[in-house]
Amino acid sequence: MSKQPTPKKPKGRKAAKPAPKGQAKAAAKRAASNYLGDLVVPGLAALPPAERLNKTLKTKWADGKGRPAVLEYLKKILADGHAEICNQFENGRAGDATGAICVRQHAQLADGVIQAIYHLGTKVAHPIANPTAGERLALIATGGYGRAELSPQSDIDLLFILPYKRTPTIEQSVEFVLYFLWDLGLKVGQAVRSVDDCIRQAKADMTIRTNLLESRFLAGDTEVFEEFQGKFENDVMAGTAPAFIQAKMEERDARHHEVGDSRYVLEPNVKNGLGALRDLHVLFWIAKYVHRVDRVHDLVDLGEISEEEAETFDRAQNFLWAVRAHLHYLTGRGEDRLTFDLQPELSRRLGYVDHGKTLGVERFMKHYFLVAKEVGALSRNMTALFQDRVFTGRIARIGRAIWAFDIEGFPVQGGWLHLPSDDHLRKQPEDLIRIFRVAQTSGRFIHPASLQRISREHRRIGRKIQNDPACNAVFLDILTGKNAIRILKLMNDTGVIGRFLPDWARIVAQMQYDMYHVYTVDEHTLHAVEILHGIADGSRAEDFPLATEVYGKISSTRALFVAVLLHDIAKGRNGDHSILGEKVALKVCPRLGLTPEETETVAWLVRWHLAMSRTALKRDLDDPKAVDDFVNLIQSTERLRLLHVLTTVDIAAVGPDRWNAWKAGLLRRLFFVTEQRLTPDDNMRPPATYDSRLVEGLREQLSDWSGDRIRGFIEVAPAGLWHAFPPEQLAHLARLMHGAQTENQELALDTRVDVAAGYTQVAVITKDRKGLFAALTGAIAATGASILDAKIFTFNHGWVLDVFAIQDLQGNPIGSGDKLAKLSINIHRALEDQSFLDKKIARHRHDLPSRTHVFTVPPRVLIDNQASNRSTVIEVNGRDRPGLLYDLGRTLTDERLQISAAKVTTYGEKAIDVFYLRDPGGLKITHPDRLAQLRERLLAVIDPGDDDSDQPPDQPGSYKASTRRKERGSLERAG
């Protein structure tokens, strides 16, 4: 085995000069870049010392056993070595640096085997006594392996460098090494290039340049590597730092966009995501390119970063290495995505346990997101400092001399807003808040060095600053001012919001372990604030027309902004977060300078921020009792307007596909019905049955219809129809129904694929009949589809319009003609005879995506005889699965119950289905024995033998009970 090079002393921030021969030789023998300072990597018992290993291989080769014996021996070394590393890693015997030790030991094991094979090939199997200049060869490690980092399932990147052109001897040596490595089952990426080829390709391709930047000598001729290193530093790197930095920033941004632009994506990519390993790699590449350093800690000696920042880098990288290693060990492949189904086991392996109602997996993911947040701050600050050093160093110096000025006491230099001095925040801690307002009003960006200082000093915000009226007024101005989201995200990233509002610190990086919520609680909240600003300034009017209209009539807009900021402030605590959040609001609002009336409004909004969505999505709006209860809660048009806008931004901020036309229609209908009840003498609104503007739009779309025909359709249409569809779609459905009636069709079926929304819409028009609900949902399930959204309306003349939004079980629209034809056949058959459905649905019972199986959903049946004056309302909660609605509908039909209305919603893996039921006589179900029997039968449908119905109704979703909405919307039978 070749002697390992010794570390080269950092040259500081100056570019490398042409290296004398002695220095170049030292560079060729340089050790691997060591991010973790003086980390000592333990040796491996499975890997013999180089000299002994070489002798053993020589003996096995010379004894005539040859290649098979060598392969068998090396395979045992690799197997024993991998087992030893895995055992040390999973049992935590490497101490605090388990992740770092793991990747270093894997590289160490690969080094030993590769160097031994190279020695065997060039010194034993095909020795050359006096190699000519053309027979010299150097074997080097590149990429991550060049950093001496190798995750359990990562590729080994090798480069064979030769002086100029290939010779038969070179080819023989290269093939000997590669065939051995491949036969050992190693994943090897390899290239064979001359020195000049390396330099030419490095100049032309930034990816190749980056790989070569991390070159590490493994074996062979050091003078060849010496020549390569000298040319690379002087012909490629010298004078090209600006282009390199620019290229790495563009690559980073493209990578972030591809994997998800938020570092709080709930199934993050540990290698390529925001705040993940690759972001740390980019920082090191730039540092190495600009300052010629071998370790991040060398930047501390140069005064570029603080010791604390270097330690943050180390801690973050070690944690991410450990997570990635566990992913590789757990899956047996190079898996870098931390998916829901892997998170619980990883949290267990990493030692996270449940604390109260907070699951170990939630604690693990919160830690992950906090680490990603730290990496994001490091990435932002360090890259900007490097850019400032390379791009604007001279301009900034000129600026200080000629162009320097200040804005409200904060200097502006080189276009950046700065803190006046390093100790400024110690003297004036209130400027930890004020500088952000100045940045907001001036449109300037705070210099990364000042952001670093703010991050370090944010703990100076104590009770004095928290209770300072001026600071609170500034914060409120930031929240309600233009460009607020850019500033608030910076304040969150630097820790300022969490210090100024201590309750906020508890929701930072707080995930909700389910498949519904896309973001952490703090990210969701800031996104909601961003949407509210779009509604306020009219830029989101097309997306949220009613909320935009309503916002213009709100008097207490300041209270609304605070309510949006605080609506989820108590998430993750034991208890109802709405009730707990109300208490937080009553405490925080007076401090922020809100009046008693505004404080009461904010507290009320936080307490009831879920009321409007629950009523719209889980209650029959044609039932007067549902509307009565909601009106009694609201009591004023101002509160109605406030709650509508809050509900809109809350739902829209959950994720990119959570807000849809159906949900908007339900909320719009509830808003108009309630507004009319609260202002009975106000003639500005149309009757509650429909919106005159929508009817006028329908008339325009049906311009070829006579007035009598349009009036006839309006008279028999159920009230809920008018807010369920835009006029053009409603006109299409009206034509379908008219055609079915005039042509005396038993059934009319229409399908259309909505690629943008990601589902296929299926409209069914037929006469109402017993068991129709079960038949249609069963036919859809039998086709292997899931229902995302459903609208079912019964017209006064006995016809029914049912519109379903469906996907295949992989979450894609169903566009296949064969699949849609199969759906049509199943629907026709089901309306004639449902007996065939059981066998067909049974084939799809276990077709849910595997990731959902990690979530346990306790079954629950809630019976409410107070929610409606006419019907018994039953809410069924359980794990969603193909055919669930069919089974529930069939059970209710078997019980001889009438389904007067139903609300069907799926929160990812959790189904919440609400049925309005009456007995055969059209009355409520009141007898206790009858209710108990019904409850037991429904529980048996959801999950036989597993009754956990004592869980509180608003129990938040988790590993044991999750609530991610897949959006089957609301299924309503009106009439």
Domain ranges of the chain: 21-237, 501-660
Q: The tokens 């930095």 sit on which residue?
A: 245
pLDDT higher than 90, residue 503: yes
Question: Averaged over 876-903, what is the pLDDT?
Answer: 86
What is the third-level CATH fold of 501-660? Hypothetical protein af1432 (1.10.3210)
CA–CA separation, 523 and 653 (whole Å)? 9
pLDDT band at 11 (very low <50, low <70, confident <90, very high): very low
Q: The tokens 């004894």 sit on which residue?
A: 63
Higher per-residue pLDDT: 262 or 395: 262
SS3 category, 162: strand
Closest CA to 160 of 123, 197, 131, 201: 197
pLDDT at residue number 315: 93
CA–CA separation, 757 and 661 (whole Å)? 10
Closest CA to 456 of 486, 429, 437: 429
Higher per-residue pLDDT: 413 or 441: 441
The string of pLDDT tens digits covering residues 802-841 is 888 788 877 788 888 888 999 999 999 988 887 888 777 7
Length of the chain: 975
Range from 264-273, 485-494, 794-803 that averages highest in pLDDT: 485-494
pLDDT higher than 70, residue 61: yes
Least confident of 125-129, 240-244, 534-538, 922-926: 125-129
The string of pLDDT tens digits covering residues 300-331 is 998 888 888 899 999 999 999 999 999 999 99
pLDDT band at 407 (very low <50, low <70, confident <90, very high): very high
pLDDT higher than 60, residue 525: yes
Closest CA to 571 of 264, 957, 964: 957
Per-residue tokens: 876: 């069924």
pLDDT at residue number 959: 30
Closest CA to 493 of 378, 608, 604: 378
Taking the mean position of all CA atoms in its chain, how far away is CA 895? 44
Return the H-helix or E-strand segment holding 122: none
Least confident of 107-111, 620-624, 739-743, 934-938: 620-624
How many other CB atoms are there within 10 angstroms of residue 135's CB atom?
18
pLDDT band at 715 (very low <50, low <70, confident <90, very high): confident
Contact 510, 551 (CB under 8 A): no
Q: What Rg do the C-alpha atoms of the chain give, in angstroms?
A: 34
Per-residue tokens: 945: 């033998």
Least confident of 328-337, 622-631, 751-760, 885-894: 751-760
pLDDT band at 854 (very low <50, low <70, confident <90, very high): low
pLDDT at residue number 401: 40
> Percent of the chain at pLDDT above 70?
86
- CA-to-CA dists, residue 656 to 38, 303, 613, 646, 758, angstroms: 45, 43, 18, 17, 12
CA–CA separation, 94 and 739 (whole Å)? 75
- In the chain the first and final C-alpha atoms are separated, in Å, by 85
CA–CA separation, 582 and 588 (whole Å)? 10
Q: The tokens 């809050």 sit on which residue?
A: 646
Return the H-helix or E-strand segment holding 628: helix 624-634
What are residue 805's DSSP bridge partners?
Answer: 761, 789
Contact 139, 220 (CB under 8 A): yes
CA–CA separation, 538 and 526 (whole Å)? 18
Q: The tokens 């080094």 sit on which residue?
A: 111
pLDDT higher than 80, residue 725: no
* Beta-sheet pairing, 410-413 with 405-407: antiparallel
Closest CA to 154 of 360, 321, 359: 321
CA–CA separation, 678 and 670 (whole Å)? 12
pLDDT at residue number 879: 83
The string of pLDDT tens digits covering residues 677-689 is 998 654 444 444 4
How many other CB atoms are there within 10 angstroms of residue 811's CB atom?
12
The amino acid present at 594, given as its one-letter code, is L
What is the third-level CATH fold of 21-237? Beta Polymerase; domain 2 (3.30.460)
pLDDT at residue number 944: 52
Question: Averaged over 923-943, what is the pLDDT?
Answer: 93
pLDDT at residue number 510: 86
pLDDT higher than 90, residue 544: yes
Least confident of 811-815, 869-873, 912-916: 811-815
Closest CA to 526 of 274, 256, 262: 262
Q: Tell me 726's DSSP state.
A: -
Closest CA to 456 of 407, 503, 423: 423
pLDDT higher than 50, residue 403: no
pTM metric for this prediction: 0.78
CA–CA separation, 118 and 130 (whole Å)? 17
What are residue 787's DSSP bridge partners?
Answer: 806
| Phi, psi at 905, each rounded to 5° | -135, 140
pLDDT at residue number 850: 53
* Beta-sheet pairing, 785-794 with 799-808: antiparallel
Least confident of 562-571, 674-683, 759-768: 674-683
Per-residue tokens: 74: 């090396």
Closest CA to 164 of 200, 134, 142: 134
pLDDT higher than 50, residue 969: no
Q: What is the DSSP string of 865-908?
A: SSS-SSSEEEEEEEE--TTHHHHHHHHHHHTT-EEEEEEEEEET
- On average, the pLDDT of the chain sits at 84
Question: Averaged over 52-81, what is the pLDDT?
Answer: 91
pLDDT higher than 90, residue 234: yes
